[in-house]
């Protein structure tokens, strides 16, 4: 449910923006409200599962997610939708880390890579089918239907969980939930993201913008200081003493930030610029997810046999190539122009995902797999949260700059220029009044489309640079002869 929902919403964003008559910053919050709550509470979800039972917390998360999805599907305004998405994030924060921790507790280290590969594959297949199904629902029914399918999935998930999931706990977990830490993370990230999103509207020099960004960074610093002295922290800082654990989370931050930011904007390019239907735009993501899903188990076995270092160098480098190819293809409306870069991205992520996840789990003691997976999922979510905000601001600035240049040299009428100016608020092509001549309509639409292409090409190039940097960090922090935690502990004994 969580991975379907996360992938399907992006395809529906252009239709939601038009239906609710809102702006790109509001659409950023539709995504970021979910991601913010999930990021802030993922570590709480992992810790609660370790203490109270992973099965119990997982099923609670499923129930909350389903109820919030129903509220999303019935939301009358953008504000209600954003609040409901935040509640969905709470449910996801409980079910996602517990699902991986259940696998970590159920399998021995030598089998864990293949098991996580199956988990990654199932998630990827769900994420791949989500945009296609969601696009069809958006085209043939309503964007609301993408949320209303979740309660049906929840019934199945609850039935399977109650009948078949084993319960597991960490017997050494220190009692107590770090609610203060969760509040600090939520406040810090929320204020920081607010400042980053508002920068697109108010400008970087606005006191609200730099004041929010500064306040957010200070609150996050207070969170780190609080975690150092707390007896049962939601994020044990001692885990980061491991270069391997720190490095793999930095790789996660860069790689998933690039993916989250790029995939947020890709449907706007396909639907608003190139005229794809929501179904066709969703189909673009299907090869990516199918390749990732089918080959993830194979990738897990490679990591088990040959180690994680080279897959975590080659995979992100290939992802960087895929984003560079997408940047080159932004002005091309042919399906194949976008399809092949997505295939390259898919193979890069196949090589990367399972070794990355396995490295996270194997880098910590067995009884801390829940908190370790929670930290890594939180890092991935924070990366997407921040990069959607940052790249949104950069993209809107690029649109404005491109519109200024093209309008200055155009011979459009004042009325037509005013309509084109309305495109500054987001990636929705403005509707031309009937009074505007056909020739001017075509010129105006070409200017708007060209500005959107310029902005999204810049987004893809930034994503490519981030993926390439993550490959470099893997090379510097993950050694071929570096033992996993479990093996080094056995050697000491």
Tell me whether residue 416 is in a domain: no
Same domain, 224 and 82: no
Same domain, 379 and 252: yes
Same domain, 122 and 191: no
Same domain, 277 and 347: yes
Number of independent structural domains in the chain: 2
Domain that residue 198 falls in? 179-229
Same domain, 262 and 239: yes
pLDDT digit string (tens) for 457-481?
A: 999 999 999 999 999 998 888 775 5
pLDDT at 159: 92
Tell me whether residue 67 is in a domain: yes
DSSP state of 409: T
Same domain, 72 and 218: no
Same domain, 351 and 215: no
Task: Please list the rounded mean pLDDT of every run of 10 residues in the chain (493 residues).
Answer: 75 83 81 83 78 87 94 91 93 84 75 76 71 82 87 90 80 72 86 84 82 92 86 76 84 92 87 85 82 73 74 92 93 86 92 82 69 78 86 86 84 80 72 79 83 91 96 83 46 36
- Listed residues 229, 247, 265: the one ending a domain: 229
Same domain, 258 and 206: no
Same domain, 111 and 221: no
Tell me whether residue 97 is in a domain: yes
Same domain, 222 and 274: no
Long-range contacts of 217-222 (CB under 8 A, 24+ apart): 217/188, 217/192, 218/188, 219/184, 219/187, 219/188, 219/191, 220/184, 220/185, 220/188, 220/189, 220/192, 222/184, 222/188
CATH code, domain with 457: 1.20.1250.20
Same domain, 285 and 187: no
Same domain, 309 and 351: yes
pLDDT at 385: 82
Tell me whether residue 442 is in a domain: no
Tell me whether residue 423 is in a domain: no
How would DSSP label each residue in 160-215?
HHHHHPPP---TTPPS---HHHHHHHHHHHHHHHHHHHHHHHH-TTSHHHHHHHHH
Tell me whether residue 438 is in a domain: no
Tell me whether residue 445 is in a domain: no
């Amino acid at each position: 449910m969580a991975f379907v929902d996360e992938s399907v919403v992006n395809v529906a964003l252009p239709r939601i923006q038009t239906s609710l008559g809102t702006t790109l910053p509001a659409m950023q919050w539709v995504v970021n409200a979910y991601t913010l709550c999930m990021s802030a509470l993922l570590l709480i979800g992992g810790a609660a599962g370790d203490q109270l039972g992973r099965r119990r917390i997982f099923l609670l998360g499923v129930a909350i997610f389903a109820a919030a999805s129903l509220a999303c599907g019935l939301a009358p305004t953008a504000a209600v939708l954003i609040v409901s998405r935040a509640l969905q994030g709470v449910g996801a924060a409980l079910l996602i880390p517990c699902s991986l921790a259940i696998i970590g507790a159920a399998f021995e280290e030598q089998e864990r890579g293949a098991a996580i590969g199956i988990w990654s594959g199932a998630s990827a297949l769900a994420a791949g089918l989500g945009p296609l199904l969601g696009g069809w629902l958006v085209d043939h029914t309503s964007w609301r239907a993408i949320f209303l399918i979740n309660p049906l999935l929840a019934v199945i998930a609850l039935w399977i969980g109650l009948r078949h999931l084993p319960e597991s706990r960490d017997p050494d977990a220190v009692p107590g939930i770090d609610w203060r830490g969760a509040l600090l993370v939520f406040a810090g990230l929320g204020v920081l993201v607010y400042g980053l999103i508002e920068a697109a509207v108010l400008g970087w020099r606005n006191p609200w913008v730099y004041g929010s960004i500064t306040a957010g960074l200070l609150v996050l610093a207070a969170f780190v200081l609080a975690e150092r002295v707390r007896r049962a922290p939601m994020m044990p800082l001692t885990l980061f003493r491991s270069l391997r654990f720190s490095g793999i989370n930095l790789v996660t931050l860069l790689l998933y930030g690039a993916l989250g930011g790029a995939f947020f904007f890709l449907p706007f390019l396909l639907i608003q610029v190139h005229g794809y239907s929501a179904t066709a735009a969703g189909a673009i993501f299907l090869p990516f997810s199918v390749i990732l899903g089918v080959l993830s188990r194979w990738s897990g076995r490679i990591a088990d046999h040959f180690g994680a270092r080279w897959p975590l160098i080659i995979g992100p480098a290939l992802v960087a190539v895929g984003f560079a190819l997408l940047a080159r293809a932004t002005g091309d409306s042919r399906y194949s122009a976008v399809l092949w870069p997505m295939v390259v991205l898919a193979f890069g992520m196949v090589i990367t995902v399972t070794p990355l996840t396995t490295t996270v789990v194997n880098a910590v003691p067995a009884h801390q797999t829940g908190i370790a997976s929670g930290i890594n999922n939180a890092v991935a979510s924070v990366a997407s949260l921040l990069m959607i905000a940052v790249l949104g601001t950069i993209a809107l600035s690029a649109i404005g700059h491109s519109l200024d240049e093209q309008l200055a040299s155009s011979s459009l009428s004042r009325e037509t220029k005013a309509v084109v100016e309305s495109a500054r608020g987001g990636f929705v092509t403005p509707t031309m009044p009937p009074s505007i001549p056909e020739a001017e309509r075509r010129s105006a639409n070409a200017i708007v489309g060209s500005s959107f292409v310029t902005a999204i090409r810049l987004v893809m190039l930034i994503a490519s640079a981030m993926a390439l940097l993550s490959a470099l960090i893997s090379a510097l922090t993950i050694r071929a002869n570096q033992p996993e935690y479990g093996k080094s502990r056995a050697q000491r004994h």
